[in-house]
Amino acid sequence: MAAKVTSHGAFQGESPLDYALPLLILQICLVIVVTRGLAYLIRPLRQPRVIAEIIVRTPPATGGILLGPSALGRSTKFLHTVFPPASMTVLETVANMGLLFFLFLVGLELDLTAIRRTGQKALAISLSGIALPFALGIGTSFAFRATIISGDSPRAPFLVFMGVALSITAFPVLARILTELKLLTTDLGRMALSAAAVDDVMAWILLALAVALSGSTSSPIISLWVLLAAAGFVAGAFMLVRPVLTWMARRCRDGEPIREVHVCATLAIVLAAGFVTDVIGIHALFGGFVVGVVVPKDGPFAGMLIDKVEDLVSGIFLPLYFVSSGLKTNVATISGARSWGLLVLVIANACVGKIGGAVATALLVKIPVREAVTLGFLMNTKGLVELVVLNIGRERKVLNDEAFAIMVLMALFTTFITTPLVMAIYKPARPSVPYKRRTVECMAGDDAGGELRVLACFHSNRSIPTLLNLVEASRGTRRGKLTMYAMHLVELSERSSAITMVHRARRNGLPFFNREGNDNNQMVVAFEAFQQLSSVRVRAMTAISDLDTIHRDVIDSAVSKRAAIVVMPYHKVLNHDGITFHSLGSAYHAMNKRVLREAPCSVAILVDRGLGGAAHVAAQNVSFTVAVLFFGGADDREALAYATRMAEHPGVAVTLVRFRRHNSGEDAAEDDEEDEVAIERFKSKVVVMKDGSVHFDERVACTTKEEVVEAIAALAKSSVFVVGRMPPAPPLVDNADELGPVGSYLVSPELRTSASVLVVKRYDPATNPKSRRFDPEARPPTATEEDVLDEAEMGRSAMVVPVPWSPSPASDTA
């Protein structure tokens, strides 16, 4: 390849592949196509996406092997054309630049302040999970040196590299696995993450020691100077760099975009730190990692940096690094009984050391056997950082190609088995509690006047005021008669970082949850203030999952909390014109339909048009008008039962409009009889309590679309419409969505109104057979410490006790 960067073009008789820039572009495109294609192909394996990320970025398993000497690289012409030896310097330089910023992201995911608050149990599990596998790794290194490692390779660095490789627990990978298994917010998940965070820090310290010992000179004095200089660099980063980053973080306010100069300055600091650590002799990536660690984790600054850097680094540069390494690796080096025996040995030692150490310590600190074994398998998770360690070992000539391939296969195997083994072992259960009140109508027919439990879901902060105002208007007349479980639905996207996921799901005061300067702080204030000022008891929860499966979190939480009704947000949000809506996406629409189809209780879809304005309305200032459209049928009776509770509020005026139908047949007659009972119950409960605030309007033979539309238009100035999802009414719009024939019209531009809409579907096991698999007797929900507290407080419904923000488990109990 010529020294020139760009060619004059093919028409000038020059081959673009003989020049640096066009060849690099071709290599990057080829790597992206290969890695993304492999990620798509392995989806049917039903492993968490992080497994795909490891596989498609692992040199001897993907891009590297397909493009290297084990597959396509067997064609000498292909290898010398697309990856000529002269181009490797440019490719490796770009790839290592990406690795530097990837380690910066890894450092951003670690909060040293939170690690210092790690509980004694998690700390003990972490230390034992490092010490035992490290010792076994040193023992394994003697077997390697006696067989496949030449005698002239450095002894001390090899011992440390083997110990580190076996003792690492990949914190980012573990967070993704826990999230996809619905274990992130359980007690087990919290302990595993806390221990893994300590493991990560200890592993990097040991790796720095190994790199310092693996220099070209064998002089111990030189290694000592390297270690002292590295310690001085770390101290300087905390004393000099951290104040600068803190100053920038304070000027990054929540809800405002991060300033470009702050992003550029931070990235420049990362590059400078990488230069300094390379000069010291401990690899440039350590500089990026240390800068990531010292970045303040309070506030949105760290998260915004991730948003700016992660896609480019993880999507392009990181695969380049592993492919550039894989081009030098031939899987065929693992051959013969000796190599396969070493592979079995290193896998056995890795599992025995990591799992055995964690399980033994967990049992000593009184953790049940099943949870202790599960914790051991979780702590045995490896990841991308493990592969970085192995690559550094090979670059420093500590590991040869055969040893490198064996260690990489060990990392893949131990991570691959984590998910199926955890799913098979960890099946938490608790004694099932009778779950009888699955509808609001059932609560209305209870003479004892039990407590109504509402699971209210929302996607963002902007929905909280409407949700709180709706719950306030629905609280009934007795103090503590309604409990709201507020569930924040957070999408686990392809690019979600561990820091983002964990920060949104941790309990306050436990590791990896910050209260200052983030969205959670606004939610904390909103819910705590609402509970202080209202007679409604609030429990806050967080569900983090893929949109294709997040409905399971909602459904399982409804079962574990024995909710009578689930309130879901509409899949469209109001535009600035106050009339039209725009969709959040088909995935949100599908999520609502799955909840409607499989929920174990009644479901309501809330269309937010700003009920009560942009803030919560205090109880004494509530002044809402509710319009109930009653056509008949089970859904309308459930909607009427909910409106009955709203009518009990002194600040709510209810107008019930009944549309009588002229139907024949036994089913219609039975429905009419039940409708009459529901209407009479409504009259008997609210007419006695109110004078002039409840209106009843009966429309006989109002069956045409025009008549119904006219009646609805007369109520357009109401604050909220309450209607059943599938009433026996004429279709008012074409192609009705999950809101049904009437609800879809209420959100259409044809109706000029600012009223929010609550569309209710009554739980019916006959038409909802999938909900039976969530029967507590057949599938007990996950038990946590918070559930015990929750059940204890539920028994004291006459007294409202303010509780702190406590994200509750929304786990899949499969």
Domain containing residue 701: CATH number: 3.40.50
One domain for residues 31 and 69: yes
Count of domains observed in the chain: 2
Residue 805 lies in a domain: no
Task: Express each pLDDT in 646-685 by its tens digit.
Answer: 888 888 888 888 887 655 555 566 667 888 888 888 887 7
**Beta partners for 652?**
624
Mean pLDDT throughout 397-403?
Answer: 82
Do residues 463 and 569 touch, judged by C-beta distance below 8 A? yes
Do residues 245 and 296 touch, judged by C-beta distance below 8 A? yes
Owning domain of residue 583: 440-794
Task: Sort 726 into a burial class: Cβ within 10 Å, 0-12 / 13-18 / 19+.
Answer: buried
3-state secondary structure at position 758: strand
Which among 576, 192, 156 is positioned nearest to 354, based on CA atoms? 192
Which among 536, 515, 513 is positioned nearest to 525, based on CA atoms? 515
Positive or negative, the CA dihedral 110, 111, 116, 117 is negative
Residue 14 lies in a domain: yes
- E strand or H helix at 488: strand 482-491
Residue 300 lies in a domain: no
- Return the pLDDT at 602: 92
Do residues 130 and 350 touch, judged by C-beta distance below 8 A? no
Of the residues 390, 425, 460, which one is the last residue of a structural domain?
Answer: 425
List the strands of the sheet with 452-458, edge to edge.
537-545, 482-491, 452-458, 565-569, 602-607, 756-761, 720-724, 624-630, 652-659, 694-699
CA–CA separation, 478 and 483 (whole Å): 12
Residue 303 lies in a domain: no
One domain for residues 374 and 485: no
Tokens, residue 441 = 């109508």
CA–CA separation, 717 and 720 (whole Å): 9
One domain for residues 597 and 479: yes
Task: Express each pLDDT in 251-276 by its tens digit.
Answer: 887 667 788 898 899 999 999 999 99
CA–CA separation, 36 and 709 (whole Å): 51
3-state secondary structure 423-466: HHHCCCCCCCCCCCCCCHHHHHCCCCCCCEEEEEEECCHHHHHH
Confidence band for 92, pLDDT divided at 50, 70 and 90: confident
Which among 61, 76, 81 is positioned nearest to 323, based on CA atoms? 61
Which among 284, 368, 297 is positioned nearest to 103, based on CA atoms? 284
One domain for residues 582 and 622: yes
CA–CA separation, 191 and 195 (whole Å): 6
One domain for residues 420 and 495: no
One domain for residues 350 and 418: yes
Task: Express each pLDDT in 725-739 by its tens digit.
Answer: 988 887 888 877 788
One domain for residues 417 and 382: yes
Residue 307 lies in a domain: no
Residue with tokens 């409708």: 675
Residue 800 lies in a domain: no
Residue 288 lies in a domain: no
Mean pLDDT throughout 510-522?
Answer: 42
Mean pLDDT throughout 196-209?
Answer: 81
Mean predicted lDDT score pLDDT of the chain: 77
Which among 178, 202, 201 is positioned nearest to 378, based on CA atoms? 178
Task: Express each pLDDT in 364-389 by its tens digit.
Answer: 988 888 888 988 998 888 877 777 88
Residue with tokens 């990026």: 288
Task: Express each pLDDT in 287-333 by its tens digit.
Answer: 999 999 899 887 778 878 888 888 888 778 877 877 776 666 566 67
Higher pLDDT, residue 645 or 67: 645
One domain for residues 397 and 517: no
CA–CA separation, 811 and 123 (whole Å): 25
One domain for residues 144 and 112: yes
CATH number for the domain harbouring residue 106: 1.20.1530.20
**Beta partners for 724?**
760
Query: CB count, 10 Å around CB of 317?
Result: 20
| DSSP code at position 535 | S
Residue with tokens 């999230």: 179
CA 168-173-174 angle, 5° bins: 80
Q: Has residue 705 got a pLDDT over 50?
A: yes
Would you tell me the crossing angle of helices 666-686 and 634-647 to the nearest 10 degrees? 0
CA–CA separation, 743 and 723 (whole Å): 7
Q: What are phi and psi of 602, to 5 degrees?
A: -65, 155
Task: Express each pLDDT in 469-504 by its tens digit.
Answer: 888 888 766 544 788 888 888 887 655 455 555 544
One domain for residues 632 and 538: yes
Confidence band for 701, pLDDT divided at 50, 70 and 90: low
CA–CA separation, 108 and 207 (whole Å): 18
One domain for residues 451 and 414: no
For the chain, helix, strand, coil in percent to 5 are: 55, 10, 35
- Return the pLDDT at 758: 93
Higher pLDDT, residue 83 or 663: 83
Of the residues 425, 448, 474, which one is the last residue of a structural domain?
Answer: 425
CA–CA separation, 104 and 245 (whole Å): 14
One domain for residues 381 and 474: no
Among the ranges given (64-78, 361-375, 561-575), the one the predictor scored with the smallest mean pLDDT: 64-78
